Chain A
Amino acid sequence: MTELEYAPGFFTPRVRQGRIRTRWLLALEYWFLQYRRAWRGSILSTFVFPTLYLASMGLGLGGLVNHHLGTHAAILGNGSYLTFVAPGILSASAMQIGINEASWPVMGAIRWQRSYHAQCATPIRITDVLYGHLAWITLKLFATCLVFVGISAAFRANSLPRALFEIPAATLTGLGFAVPMAALSAHIKNDAAFSTINRLLIVPLFLFSGTFFPLAQLPGSLQVLARFTPLYHGVTLCRALGSGQLMTLTNLGHVAYLATMVAAGVVFARKTYTRRLSR
């Protein structure tokens, strides 16, 4: 057996004393480190998807729509279809990113990489595990929305600087989905649920929350239903902010709706995380 050479006392216990730094920040570091190995694929989707969407929906479909809009221009807020659809795609993408980031990565951290368990063996507490991951999702949402707004500006689909307000709004929209989804991902045992959620919830929301056309185009009863969906609030909020309506009561209502989803998600997630990680 090879005898190891090391300074005597190398293993002698010396537990660190003093206050420990904010622990959720330490959990957040894991996600940064982990991102270093996956950033290439992620960068691609961050830049390429918005460009493709804006090109096809905004310019392609938009060209057709604008051409036939005629006297009905008011229905799209008197702008081009591109300016109408850009905030919609922004918040719908935020929703999808939020759902994605809070599904497989959460389940993987519990079941495959077991990184949550590794964190729980250290001074990091379960709430820190949760907040650290949510902080990462927030950063990722924010960065992606920032890029999207930048690309939209290049397409002349929005006007800066007021379009910058759409960034926190879309981030909030994404979080409104991500936090409850994280709670659910920690709860369920089978990842088959993810594709069910995607098919039955995310795709219909994507299509019918005012993303691509005003809700007024829907039959009356569906309009009412659509107004209750979270994505509608995100889309409408982004669109209002982008068109320069800032401090309105309606906007406050949208923010309150989305913030409630985040808060309820946190309460639910604290429960499911605790149940899963501290049996």
Chain B
Amino acid sequence: MDVLPDVIVEARGLQKFFGEVEAVRGIDFSIQRGEVFGFLGPNGAGKTSTMRMISCMSPRSAGKLLVRGHDPAESGSEIRRGIGLVPQDDALDSEMSVLDNLHIYGRYFDIPRKEIRARAKVLLEFAQLTDRADSKVDNLSGGMRRRLTIARALISRPELVILDEPTTGLDPQARHLVWERLYQLRREGVTLIITTHYMDEAEQLCDRLVVMDRGLIVGAGTPRSLIEKTVAREVVEVRLDDGNYLSLVDRLGDHIDRAEILGDRLCCYGEDGDQILDLILALGIHPASSLVRRATLEDVFLFLTGRSLVD
């Protein structure tokens, strides 16, 4: 058997235009085999366009792209053989049964019917849909559909699973079930690419991620390193009755790494949040409210783009 290359997706200067609109404006990244790689960004950042190029469903406009060691422009069909796609809109046949949806998808990969039957049984368990096998997809809840779409993507034993917004629109319980399942896949060596605009999802799931904004990558790294590199370890959020944040920032001076005014509150970033809060109190300032917390990817995004992620 061939030795598999360590890099499963490699992009250099990757671009996608739709007429005049530049959806992806030249991005570089490489994804290692076996990792969970995230694309984080708001709607319209170019995440879905990037996913469609990686899954060989949409031709790139410029740049270099290698997926599973091949060029999608030449070997799309061959590359897709090793990919399981979970598209944003599910693309399930709503009038067919759960089982038929799994079955036909397996057939698209030319998997023998007997093998599909055996695999579908376990995948239905995996998706917690065993007792819904004969239900029409029309009658499933959003969370069930999502799990079915993930199960469907796994029927061909793919080495790369691409999930575009896997938990958007799901309630917290349904989200956690999906996350749980994705951990299981990772444990078995499946490479996962996830797009999301949920910070907690990216932080929980991803080994490494890139932050996208307006078609560009504006930050990259592990969630923790990205936070510590870009902002700081901790944040103090304070609300002042007089709203005179600028003077407070002035007086804190070098004791904080950076500060950001977010509507009616001030975020002060630094290594030790409690220390910063003590300092503020020592200055004789008594905030209307205060909160010390760990910095998150939300702060990273705010810092990198000047905008908050979810409008």
Interface of A toward B, CB cutoff 8 Å: 1-2, 4-7, 9-16, 20-21, 23, 26-27, 29-30, 33-34, 37, 112-115, 117-125, 277-279
Contact = CB atoms under 8 A, between A and B. Distances in A.
18 contacts: A1-B176, A2-B128, A4-B184, A6-B125, A7-B122, A12-B189, A13-B158, A15-B159, A29-B107, A37-B95, A37-B96, A114-B93, A118-B108, A119-B108, A121-B85, A122-B105, A123-B77, A124-B77
A12 B188 contact: yes
B93 to A, nearest CB: 5
Given A13-B82, A15-B157, A123 B108 contact: yes
A122 B80 contact: yes
B194 to A, nearest CB: 16
B107 to A, nearest CB: 5
A125 B77 contact: yes
Interface in B152-184: 154, 156-159, 176-177, 180, 184
Contacts of A12: 157, 188-190
Interface string B107-142: 111110000000000100110100000000000000
Contacts of A277: 57
A180 to B, nearest CB: 26
Contacts of B156: 15-16, 122
A contact patch SS:
loop
* 5 nearest A-B residue pairs (beta carbon): A13-B159, A122-B108, A15-B82, A114-B91, A11-B188
B200 interface: no
Contact of A33 (B94, B103, B110, B157): B103
B176 A10 contact: no
A1 B87 contact: no
Contacts of B125: 4-6
Contact of B126 (A6, A120, A123): A6
Nearest to A277: B57
Contact of A117 (B77, B87, B185, B188): B87
A15 B91 contact: no
B55 interface: yes
Given A6-B126, A9-B188, A121 B91 contact: yes
B52 to A, nearest CB: 8
Contact of B108 (A11, A14, A26): A26
Contact of A15 (B77, B122, B158, B188): B158
Contact of A11 (B52, B109, B154): B154
A15 B122 CA distance: 18
Contacts of B22: none
B221 interface: no
A26 B190 contact: no
A58 B245 CA distance: 91
Given A29-B104, A29-B107, A37-B96, A121 B80 contact: yes
A186 B89 CA distance: 19
B122 A6 contact: yes
Contacts of A6: 122, 125-126
B93 A34 contact: yes
A278 to B, nearest CB: 6
A14 B91 contact: no
A253 to B, nearest CB: 39
B100 interface: yes
Contact of A20 (B81, B87, B96): B81
Contacts of B100: 33
Contacts of B95: 34, 37, 113
A123 B176 contact: no
B76 interface: yes
A121 B55 contact: yes
A11 B184 contact: yes
B59 interface: yes
Given A4-B126, A37-B95, A279 B110 contact: no
Contacts of B109: 16, 122-123
A30 B104 contact: yes
Contact of A26 (B52, B85, B93, B107): B107
Nearest to B158: A13
B93 A10 contact: no
B55 to A, nearest CB: 6
A33 B104 contact: yes
